[in-house]
Amino acid sequence: MAGLFFPVGGFDPLGSADSLARQTANAAMQAAASQKSETECLREQVERITLLNQALWEIVRDRLQLSDGDLEKVAQEVDLRDGKQDGRLSEHPLQCPRCGRVSNSRHKKCLYCGLLFEGDAFG
**Which is nearer to Zn ion, 60 or 113 (by Cβ)?**
113
- Interface of this chain with Zn ion, residues 44 to 103, rule: CB under 5 A: 96, 98-99
Give least dist CB 118 to Zn ion, A.
13
Among 42, 112, 118, 119, binds Zn ion (CB under 5 A): 112
Residue 14: strand, helix, or coil:
helix
Size of site (CB under 5 A) for Zn ion: 7
Compute the half-sphere exposure of residue 111: CA atoms within 13 Å on the CB side of its CA.
10
Q: Name the one range near Zn ion by CB under 5 A: 36-44, 55-63, 65-73, 107-115.
A: 107-115
CA–CA separation, 89 and 76 (whole Å): 10
What element of type H or E holds 90? none
Beta strands in the chain (DSSP E): 93-95, 102-104
Q: How far is the CB of 115 from Zn ion (least distance, A)?
A: 5
Q: Binding of Zn ion at residue 122 (CB under 5 A)? A: no
CA distance linking residue 35 with residue 19, whole number of Å: 24
Which residue ranges make up the site for Zn ion (CB under 5 A)? 96, 98-99, 110, 112-113, 115
